[in-house]
Amino acid sequence: MLPTPAIAALREKFPLITELMALQPLSWFNPGIAPAAEALNDVGLTADDVADASARLARFAPYLARAFPETQASGGIIESPVVPLPAMQAALGLASGVTSGQLWLKQDSHLPISGSIKARGGIYEVLKHAEMLALDAGLLKEGDDYSLLASDAVRAFFGQYAIAVGSTGNLGLSIGIMSARLGFRATVHMSADARQWKKDKLRSHGVTVVEYATDYSVAVEAGRRQAQGDPTCHFVDDENSHDLFLGYAVAGQRLKAQFDAAGVAVDAQHPLFVYLPCGVGGGPGGVAFGLKLAFGDAVHCVFVEPTHSPCMLLGVHTGLHEGISVQEIGIDNLTAADGLAVGRPSGFVGRAMQRLIDGYATVTDEELYRLLALLEQTQGLRLEPSAVAGFAGIPPVLAAPQYRQHLDTATHLVWGTGGSMVPEQEMAAYVARGRALLAAGAD
């Protein structure tokens, strides 16, 4: 925690910090938002970089279809459905009044291989690294069918190399499962928030799991240090990686194609609001970058964080980015949303995206459980606590004067970021908790 006078000075300059410290759900719309044509130049990455990532994923599709049979149906492309949520919309009361619009869910919860949004960026970065090594070693040539990478000889070659990552759980699952399948030696440094089943699952895939009693930033730092001492080890840097970011960004064009196919219009008269749960920022930041490239000013992105882990809001609002953590203003970073339990944001994402993200909201753990149970009850969909955070971003948008004009023709898309791999018993406990809170609230 910062010295008391330093906190007082911050609160004086940024009154919102007092509200954050009170742990009450709140929202903040960034007055610094700028037109996409201008602000996309802040990012340092371009549409060509995203197209390059997309083409690389297409090259790997034959390999993925072979190595992960569950991706055969999609031809080795890792993508999730986008579905309307009419019953959830009615339950949330959004259908009433003039602010109807349409509520949809992006089901990254059901992405193949690792069951979370991390199957985008995490898997992409591992594939890119593998491609580079195989090309350099002459095991792969341009134009080859990448399914040859599934051979025992190539697996033995990758076995000379290591991949390491620090994670609250889901990034570790993606990197670990993908790395191990290719043949790499994989190490995942897990923060105290990580669920036991995620560690067990990784170990069953032959991944080394190092456990920490501390939070995410410490696990990442330990992983980074370990990798530095080993020239054969590639460290996946969740706080700074451009490759992770680009892997996530591919989602933008994919969603555009899905909405085109479903007849969902997105333009100035039919704005698209996308609600993304935010941890360190790489996942939502990368997806938002792809969305801005695909839809320009017609898309408005809102990040949602736990009231106990509002790191990106704090970093962007103060302009201090990775130079401040929630712990430094006395917030504990303890939340049931394990995927969002991050106290210090990515400075790379905060700076790159600060003029492209419309707003930020925070949500309590109790509300996450209620939303999780409501989604299960109304739509039969089961997501993990982190993954339903987006729903909490909707009410602030409906109340914000700047969006009023086209709300009746708007599409609200909640990015459902994980949950399909949560063990049955654990999911049942989440739902029971949420139902109890809903029942208590109904009294």
Ligand X SMILES: *Cc1c(COP(=O)(O)O)cnc(C)c1O
Distance between CA 317 and CA 281 in Å, rounded? 14
Q: 374 is written with which tokens?
A: 């409501």
> Of 118 and 317, which has the nearer Cβ to ligand X?
118
> Of 40 and 341, which has the nearer Cβ to ligand X?
341
Residue 190 CB, shortest distance to ligand X, in Å, is: 13
> Of 185 and 254, which has the nearer Cβ to ligand X?
254
Residue 277 CB, shortest distance to ligand X, in Å, is: 4
Residue 196 CB, shortest distance to ligand X, in Å, is: 16
Angle between helices 170-182 and 196-204 (to 10 degrees): 0
Residue 415 CB, shortest distance to ligand X, in Å, is: 8
Provide, for the chain, the percentages of residues in helix, strand and coil under a 3-state DSSP scheme, each rounded to the nearest 5. 55, 15, 30
Q: Alpha helices, DSSP H only, in 137-250?
A: 152-158, 170-182, 196-204, 216-228, 242-249
Residue 349 CB, shortest distance to ligand X, in Å, is: 8
Cα 119–223–383 angle (5° rounding)? Answer: 30
DSSP letter, residue 390:
G
> Of 89 and 417, which has the nearer Cβ to ligand X?
417
| Closest residue to ligand X, based on beta-carbon distance | 279
> Of 283 and 315, which has the nearer Cβ to ligand X?
283
DSSP assignment of 307-355, as one string?
Answer: TT--HHHHHHHHT-GGG--GGGGT-----S-GGG--SS--HHHHHHHTT
> Of 162 and 171, which has the nearer Cβ to ligand X?
171
Residue 102 CB, shortest distance to ligand X, in Å, is: 23
> Of 393 and 418, which has the nearer Cβ to ligand X?
418
Distance between CA 13 and CA 318 in Å, rounded? 9
Residue 276 CB, shortest distance to ligand X, in Å, is: 8
> Of 223 and 281, which has the nearer Cβ to ligand X?
281
Applying CB under 6 A, the residues found at the interface with ligand X are 116-118, 170-171, 277-284, 339-340, 342, 384, 386-387, 417-418
Residue 313 CB, shortest distance to ligand X, in Å, is: 12
β-pair partners for 160: none
Chain centre distance of CA 430:
20
- Beta-sheet pairing, 162-167 with 233-236: parallel
DSSP letter, residue 418:
B
Q: 193 is written with which tokens?
A: 């928030």
CA atoms in the 13 A half-sphere facing the CB of 46: 1
β-pair partners for 273: 300, 412
